[in-house]
Structure 1
Amino acid sequence: MTDRYAVFGHPIAHSKSPQIHAAFARQTGQDMTYEAILAPLDGFADSVTAFIAAGGCGANVTVPFKEEAFRLSSRLSPRAKHAGAVNTLMFDDGILGDNTDGAGLVGDLERNLHCPLAGRRILLLGAGGAARGVIEPLLDQSPAELVIANRTVGRAQELAELFCRGVRACGFDALDTPFDLVINATAASLAGELPPLSPSIFTAETLAYDMMYGRDTPFLSFARTHGAATADGLGMLVEQAAEAFALWRGVRPDTAPVIAALRT
């Protein structure tokens, strides 16, 4: 019988995950289906339970259900525990919750964008769930420095204290030196807005990375205007999906042709 997988979200019609996982399945010869499921805002757990009862083997989880998926999981991977959120579920002896976002970001930066992180000065903008999910994987690459900047400094300080390991926190107004890598994990791009940043954080040697994909965001435009190289989060999307696929199917697909197909 064909194995069933899905992505749960609200909204979900925009999701590229079915297209990505269909490409992975063709590439690796896996007998599986993958669908997008719109879960009611107050009915995520019920939707997952129904999917399991119908033979579901695993699922991805997107906004706004990642923290609820964390609570629903009967077991958590170490990276899910660090992230405080779950984006990947595997239904095997209960519900295993994992978080592949950070691995997806690191994979995109190092494999696809040829941006090694060891010894680099990294600035992470934002202190919400998107930021929290990638801090531990970034730290595991031994950067020279990781600074978390947020409009509300207290939230950035909470994250810095949670992860320790030399992480520094500040407000946007305290940023006045250049970084090798600037990652936008704020919600500003969703609203078409720009965080209040100083141009001095960018140089011609800086890579400005926005987790948002599919549009040229104000953050990317601002960074490019001030000399930085830029990249959006499409590669991260595909890489985190590949991590989930490998967990479910035991084989890691080649992401490069899938990213190229989505770009065109």
Structure 2
Amino acid sequence: MTQHDPAATLRFAVFGHPVAHSLSPQIHAAFARELSIALEYTAIDATAETFPDALARFAAAGGAGANVTLPLKQQAAALCGSLGDGARRSGAVNTLVRSNGGWHGENTDGRGLVRDLTERHGLDLRQRRTLLIGAGGAARGVAPALLEAGIGDLFVVNRTPERADALADTLGEPARVHPRYLADLASLGEFDLIVHATSATRDAALPALPMSLVGTRAAAVDVNYGEVAIPFLAWARAAGARDAIDGLGMLVEQAAESFRLWHGRRPATDEVYAGLRERYAALVTAD
């Protein structure tokens, strides 16, 4: 972790495609004001093809750290000279830290999700039979932390079965982690925790999900927020989920973890979360 001159303005960014909608610049600006740290944080649109060059230019211009979002998280891991435990286990990076002339990669998504669910929403995740929908960068980011939080069996389903198999292999706990196909959903029984971690709803294409998946105490969580989360949350409420939670809290908490890695101090998050929740209240409560 690098300690910086508090008088210097540090450069940070979030890379993704699309990324203009990202709330990360607003969140990090609020954190910086709270802790009196001067920084510049911008959104940089980069596709898989342009990301390596864009990141190199950012580093050459003095970039000290960055966040990475869809669809670049697995690619970011490959561009790092070193990886933290969570990033290594998941094969996905959402936080880049400039280190020894290269990039060190971390993944704060999972810690952010677990902190939001347990501390903000008061959920006990222990021994919850869990369904993870998706096997891309977002799913890879949260799976290790869910296992570490003590969930029970984890079933991973994905449109491309090979990706579900690959994530299960990466997690390395065959006794607890079970890759399955979307076609298997109706036969999997009830779950206590269902996490939707695909980008499908960005294209209005939520997979067909049987209502029989929802157990009596089920919490349904979408790692997305805003309009993108509405289809899954609406399905969850219709199916009788006890809790239906979007990814806004996770977004704020993972950002605070990234901020801590860059600056050595973790900001308070409640005020930032409350402000964003008010902004998105009409959307995330829609049926």
- TM above 0.5, yes or no, is yes
Mapped to 2, the partners of 1:149 and 1:71 lie a distance apart of 24
Match of 2:262 among 245, 248, 254: 248
Kindly indicate whether the alpha-carbon contact (under 8 Å) linking 1:189 and 1:212 is maintained by their aligned counterparts in 2.
Answer: no
How high is the TM-score relative to the length of structure 2?
0.86
How high is the TM-score relative to the length of structure 1?
0.93
Give the CA RMSD over aligned residues.
1.8
Residue 190 of structure 1: aligned partner: 202
Mapped to 1, the partners of 2:70 and 2:217 lie a distance apart of 33
Kindly indicate whether the alpha-carbon contact (under 8 Å) linking 2:91 and 2:170 is maintained by their aligned counterparts in 1.
Answer: no
Mapped to 1, the partners of 2:146 and 2:53 lie a distance apart of 34
Query: Aligned pair 1:172/2:189, yes or no?
Result: no
Task: Summarize the Cα distance change of 1:262–1:128 in structure 2 as closer, same or farther, 3 Å threshold.
Answer: same
Kindly indicate whether the alpha-carbon contact (under 8 Å) linking 2:130 and 2:151 is maintained by their aligned counterparts in 1.
Answer: yes
Task: Summarize the Cα distance change of 1:169–1:247 in structure 2 as closer, same or farther, 3 Å threshold.
Answer: same
Residue 83 of structure 2: aligned partner: 76
Query: Aligned pair 1:217/2:227, yes or no?
Result: no
Cα deviation for residue 207 of structure 1 reads 0.9
Kindly indicate whether the alpha-carbon contact (under 8 Å) linking 2:27 and 2:252 is maintained by their aligned counterparts in 1.
Answer: yes
Residue 114 of structure 1: aligned partner: 122
Task: Summarize the Cα distance change of 1:50–1:263 in structure 2 as closer, same or farther, 3 Å threshold.
Answer: same
1:24 aligns to what SS in structure 2?
helix
Q: Which segment drifts farther, 169-178 or 91-100?
A: 169-178
Match of 2:21 among 14, 20, 29: 14
Mapped to 2, the partners of 1:52 and 1:151 lie a distance apart of 35
> What letter matches 1:217 in structure 2?
I
Mapped to 2, the partners of 1:168 and 1:223 lie a distance apart of 22
Residue 39 of structure 2: aligned partner: 32
Residue 85 of structure 1: aligned partner: 92
> What letter matches 1:235 in structure 2?
G
Residue 3 of structure 2: aligned partner: none
Query: Aligned pair 1:205/2:213, yes or no?
Result: no
After TM superposition, the runs of 4+ consecutive aligned structure 1 residues lying more than 6 A away are: none
Match of 1:56 among 57, 63, 74: 63
Mapped to 1, the partners of 2:93 and 2:236 lie a distance apart of 31
> What letter matches 1:50 in structure 2?
R
Kindly indicate whether the alpha-carbon contact (under 8 Å) linking 1:203 and 1:226 is maintained by their aligned counterparts in 2.
Answer: no
Kindly indicate whether the alpha-carbon contact (under 8 Å) linking 2:90 and 2:170 is maintained by their aligned counterparts in 1.
Answer: no
Mapped to 2, the partners of 1:41 and 1:170 lie a distance apart of 28
> What letter matches 2:115 in structure 1?
G
Mapped to 1, the partners of 2:45 and 2:182 lie a distance apart of 36
Cα deviation for residue 169 of structure 1 reads 2.1
Kindly indicate whether the alpha-carbon contact (under 8 Å) linking 1:173 and 1:197 is maintained by their aligned counterparts in 2.
Answer: no
Cα deviation for residue 156 of structure 1 reads 2.2
1:217 aligns to what SS in structure 2?
helix
Mapped to 1, the partners of 2:62 and 2:189 lie a distance apart of 53
Task: Summarize the Cα distance change of 1:28–1:157 in structure 2 as closer, same or farther, 3 Å threshold.
Answer: same
Mapped to 2, the partners of 1:19 and 1:163 lie a distance apart of 33
> What letter matches 1:167 in structure 2?
V
1:86-142 C-alpha deviation (Å, 9 max, x unpaired): 111111212111111111111211121111211211111122222122211111112
Kindly indicate whether the alpha-carbon contact (under 8 Å) linking 1:101 and 1:236 is maintained by their aligned counterparts in 2.
Answer: yes
Task: Summarize the Cα distance change of 1:64–1:161 in structure 2 as closer, same or farther, 3 Å threshold.
Answer: closer
Cα deviation for residue 24 of structure 1 reads 0.7
Query: Aligned pair 1:258/2:272, yes or no?
Result: yes
2:44 aligns to what SS in structure 1?
strand
Kindly indicate whether the alpha-carbon contact (under 8 Å) linking 2:89 and 2:170 is maintained by their aligned counterparts in 1.
Answer: no
Identity across the alignment (%): 49
Unaligned runs of 5+ in 2: 1-7, 279-287
Q: Which segment drifts farther, 160-169 or 220-229?
A: 160-169
